[in-house]
Structure 1
Amino acid sequence: MASGFFAILDDIAALMDDVAVASKVATKQTAGILGDDLAVNAEKATGFLSSREVPVLLKIMKGSFINKLIILPVAFLLQFLYPPAIKLILILGGLYLAYEGVEKIIEYLFHRKKEAAEVIEEKENDENAEKVKIKSAVTTDFILSIEIVIIALGSVLDKSLAIQILTVSVVAVIATIGVYGIVALIVRMDDLGYKLIKKSNSKGLFNAIGVFLVKALPIIIKALAVIGTIALLLVSGGIFDHNIEVIHQFLPEVPEMAKQFVYGIIAGLISVAVVSGGKKIYLTVKK
């Protein structure tokens, strides 16, 4: 009886060792997408009132966990029933990311100036704007989460089902907690800075660090907006490059990152044109 119990413990310990090793490999495989995930979500989680930053971030993080709870069983089921479906889902997700990235660029280049009435209306509808931004962040997270789960799953396909499930689950949890933990630190930089300034009575090293943190936050937020947009296009271009053989073989002499960025831009322009045309047709028919 006792020997049987200890045998089970040995099996569990061996399984955990295998999962630890597999998780390390899978995390390395997803490191690139996690970096892009961080940049995109940090940009999505900024731009709110200071008092709303943490509550908004918690809502996005909750949505991220729900995303992964949906994606994990579906990914394993599709991998078992019809593996090509995963590739199709990735490509559709890539189109969405490309659309969002190019839309941001178009918005920045051609729609930066807003009428005063529009600005006032936005301020009066901060709650609605917050909900829209949270929804957008969770939707983008869904696409990036699919990419993370698929890459992690692909790194352990030669393992047993138990190791696959545990490894991909571990990577999903690490991705969510790690990414949003770092995002939380970024968006609260100014509060920490103000506390250091106050505690040091505006003197000495702590005051200098506090002033640096306060002044650095707006710069970091602007940088994240740019990096997040580039990340969207790189992730989308990477999806097309890795999952569409014809595209993968195209422009072999061009550096991979530059090639993927171009793919993201092209896909985004096509997506924006299709969506804009669809909206115009819908409005015309509606009239």
Structure 2
Amino acid sequence: MSGLLALLDDVAAIAKVAAASVDDVIGQAAKAGSKAAGAVIDDAAVSPKYVQGFAPARELPIVWKIARGSFFNKLVILLPIAMLLSAFAPWAIPPLLMLGGAYLCFEGAEKIVHAFSHHDAHSKATGDPAHLEEAKVQGAIKTDFILSAEIMTISLAAITVDSIWMQGVVLAVVGIAITVAVYGAVAAIVKADDLGLLMAGSGRLGITRALGRGIVHWMPTFLFVLTWVGTAAMLWVGGQIIVHGLGQLGFHGPEDLIHGWAVAAGQLVPAGYAGAVQWIATAFCDGVLGFILGLLIIPLVNYVIAPIYRTVRPA
């Protein structure tokens, strides 16, 4: 009997340890995921465009194909690379983060420049639908790889546990949760107008039909706002990563300057609002810095990196 009680005590102790580990994983995953919010928002904002121009029946299958590629990017390719970096080259994480931050700044600035340029050509793709769909999916997966790399690197930098196995579990949870959230949201967004049309045409109640018409009417505006929110998030997060990375490398000037401006802005409002104003001021300064950096990177990409890539790319 005493042996059975001892066994039950051991089982209870193991269960407590396991529960604590699960809590640690969830807590670390939530913290790491929140740090990657900017890249996540941009991922959700960018992805719906890849189903534009296809028949409604193909929209969800295309989203699933991209989501499946995103799972492969995060869990099969990027997770092992992140673990190797954490174990053997942790010094490389801040420079890689800054490289990813610079890419976010470039993408955000390029979107703004493109939106305000007057030579935006819209051409409708023609050809075999199956081939076009495959090309779109592959392009989306390549874009997802870059954003996923940024998400996983930011998440890795935010994890505070020492165990490499726990880091791997947390990163896997972050990767799975973010992919489900992003592409679940994308699926809901791309089918919202179909749902609105169904409600507007077949709803039994007047309020249901009115809600359906409202969804159809406001979806273009929602997508427009989502695109600009994603762009702002890219610039904010990209600038923040660059500023923080420079601080880690010993260049504290930009970080100290922005912090000083944010504190000064916080002193202009009542004490209860100072924290929120400081956060907004910091995010705004990071975003402006990200935009300026992105503008400087655009010619570098267009006139140096892109020509070199076209030269070395296999025909």
Is the TM value for this pair above 0.5? yes
Would you say the 8 A contact 2:240–2:286 is kept in 1?
yes
1:226 maps to: 228
Show CA shifts across 1:238-277 (max 9, x none). Answer: 2212211124334331521112112221221122111222
2:78 maps to: 71
2:272 maps to: none
CA distance in 1, matches of 2:84, 2:15: 25
Residues 1:183 and 2:186 aligned together: yes
Would you say the 8 A contact 2:108–2:234 is kept in 1?
yes
Residues 139/250 of structure 1: CA separation in 2 closer, same or farther (3 Å cut): farther
CA distance in 2, matches of 1:250, 1:228: 26
CA distance in 2, matches of 1:272, 1:129: 28
* Identity percentage of aligned residues: 31
2:152 maps to: 149
1:94 maps to: 101
Please report how far the alpha carbon of residue 177 of structure 1 lies from its aligned counterpart in structure 2 after TM superposition.
0.8
CA distance in 2, matches of 1:181, 1:281: 37
1:243 maps to: 245
Structure 2 counterpart of 1:105, one-letter code: I
Q: Show structure 1 runs of 5+ residues with no match.
A: none
Residues 1:103 and 2:103 aligned together: no
The DSSP-based 3-state class of the residue aligned with 1:30 is helix
TM-score by length of 2: 0.75
Please report how far the alpha carbon of residue 189 of structure 1 lies from its aligned counterpart in structure 2 after TM superposition.
0.7
Residues 51/209 of structure 1: CA separation in 2 closer, same or farther (3 Å cut): same
2:266 maps to: none
Cα RMSD (Å) of the superposition? 3.2
Residues 107/265 of structure 1: CA separation in 2 closer, same or farther (3 Å cut): same
Would you say the 8 A contact 2:196–2:214 is kept in 1?
yes
Would you say the 8 A contact 2:33–2:155 is kept in 1?
yes
Please report how far the alpha carbon of residue 43 of structure 1 lies from its aligned counterpart in structure 2 after TM superposition.
3.1
The DSSP-based 3-state class of the residue aligned with 1:158 is coil
Please report how far the alpha carbon of residue 151 of structure 1 lies from its aligned counterpart in structure 2 after TM superposition.
4.1
The DSSP-based 3-state class of the residue aligned with 1:119 is coil
Q: Show structure 2 runs of 5+ residues with no match.
A: 263-280
Length, aligned pairs only: 280
Would you say the 8 A contact 1:238–1:260 is kept in 2?
yes
Would you say the 8 A contact 2:106–2:294 is kept in 1?
yes
Please report how far the alpha carbon of residue 27 of structure 1 lies from its aligned counterpart in structure 2 after TM superposition.
0.7
2:123 maps to: 119
